[in-house]
């Protein structure tokens, strides 16, 4: 994934100014884990239950039957810093926000892109930024930019930000330029969208840059990463229930601790990810 932005993750005070998180403490945190008193209350004492869609490698996946990937490694570190044991609830992405609203888990850590619409449903703690790439058939047309997809069909994952952008804002640009709009076909998971592309059911696939890279590597030379730079750079956030400032603050504090000890930088580098640039965060919050 490209190194377009190198700004560090905005700190607790900066996030507060953007109405994402504050810097207050919490109490009534429940039972200790391994002799450590938890720093925040959770639904189950001593456990940080995390909602995640484990069909989204390299961020979220099952490896040898166990949760793995960037989000899992990141949240294991967050939970440890909070004196909690991490537990994961595998939930398909389209239902993941509904799950936290019904208290199925304490937080969402599932590469949840920040947008104005989602900020009305959950509160965010930004933790990295990413963008999207276009996957094309190796023996077909190569689509480099989003505008190259005008008049074409594109496979995307249901309930993602691009599932809204492509048929609306991007298609509006197509029509302004005298072209046809983009036909978006939604799939529950990225592997299903990839299979649709291989079966010629769609002309291209658009998905997160790191996910796209994995899909191409596993395709046995049938697919190519045709875009040359990340499309729609966007901030990604850990989601907490609206108004749960104690959890929001606790998670933000844990990330600050990870930054201080170097583990934050090392983990992002391992997955070729970037800290959140303030301008990308601001733009993400303005996206519908």
Quote the pLDDT of residue 230. 83
Return the pLDDT at 35: 65
Residue 266, C-beta contacts closer than 8 angstroms, at least 6 positions apart: none
Pick the CATH number of 12-130+233-286 from 3.40.190.10, 3.30.565.10, 3.30.70.270, 3.40.50.720: 3.40.190.10
d(CA 190, CA 169): 22
* pLDDT, the chain, mean: 88
Q: Given this model, what pLDDT does residue 1 score?
A: 38
Q: Is domain 131-231 in CATH 3.40.30.10, yes or no?
A: no
- 0.75 exceeded by pTM: no
pLDDT tens for the chain, 288 residues long, are: 333 332 333 333 333 333 333 333 333 344 445 667 899 999 999 999 999 999 988 999 999 999 999 999 999 999 999 999 999 999 999 999 999 999 999 999 999 999 999 999 999 999 999 889 999 999 999 999 999 999 999 999 998 889 999 999 999 999 999 999 999 999 999 999 999 999 999 999 999 888 898 899 999 999 999 998 889 888 999 999 999 999 999 999 999 999 999 999 999 888 878 899 999 999 999 977
Segments of the chain assigned to CATH 3.40.190.10: 12-130+233-286, 131-231
Q: What is the pLDDT of residue 271?
A: 83
| C-beta neighbour count of 212 within 10 angstroms | 24
Write the DSSP assignment of 76-121 as a string of letters: HHHHHHTT-EEEEEE--GGGHHHHHHTTS-SEEEEEEE--HHHHTT
Which are the contacts of 221, defined by CB distance < 8 A and separation ≥ 6?
Answer: 138
Inter-residue contact 56 to 160 (CB < 8 Å): no
- Distance between CA atoms of residues 8 and 128, nearest Å: 9
Preceding omega of 288 cis (within 30 degrees of 0): no
Residue of 282, 286, 274 lying closest to 118 (CA atoms): 286
The pair of three-digit structure tokens given for residue 280, joined into one six-digit string: 């990308």
């Amino acid at each position: 994934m490209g190194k377009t932005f190198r700004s560090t993750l905005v700190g607790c005070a900066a996030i507060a100014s953007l109405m994402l998180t504050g810097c207050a403490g919490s109490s009534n945190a429940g039972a200790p884990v391994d002799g450590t008193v938890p720093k925040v209350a959770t639904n189950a004492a001593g456990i940080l239950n995390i909602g995640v869609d484990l069909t989204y490698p390299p961020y979220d996946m099952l490896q040898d039957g166990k949760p793995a990937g960037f989000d899992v490694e990141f949240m294991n570190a967050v939970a440890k810093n909070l004196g909690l044991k991490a537990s994961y609830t595998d939930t398909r992405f389209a239902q993941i926000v509904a799950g936290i609203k019904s208290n199925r888990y304490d937080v969402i850590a599932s590469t949840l892109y920040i947008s104005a619409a989602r900020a009305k449903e959950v509160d965010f703690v930004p933790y990295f930024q990413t963008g999207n790439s276009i996957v094309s058939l190796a023996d077909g047309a190569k689509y480099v930019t989003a505008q190259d997809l005008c008049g074409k069909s594109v496979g995307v994952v249901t309930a993602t930000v691009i599932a809204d952008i492509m048929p609306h804002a991007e298609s509006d640009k197509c029509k302004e330029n005298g072209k046809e709009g983009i036909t978006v076909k939604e799939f529950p998971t990225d592997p299903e969208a990839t299979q649709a592309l291989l079966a010629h059911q769609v002309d291209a696939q658009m998905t997160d840059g790191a996910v796209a890279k994995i899909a191409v590597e596993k395709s046995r030379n049938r697919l190519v990463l045709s875009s040359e730079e990340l499309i729609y750079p966007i901030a990604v956030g850990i989601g907490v229930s609206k108004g749960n400032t104690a959890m929001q603050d606790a998670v933000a504090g844990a990330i600050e601790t990870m930054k201080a000890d170097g583990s934050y930088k090392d983990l992002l580098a391992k997955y070729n990810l970037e800290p959140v640039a303030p301008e990308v965060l601001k733009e993400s919050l303005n996206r519908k």
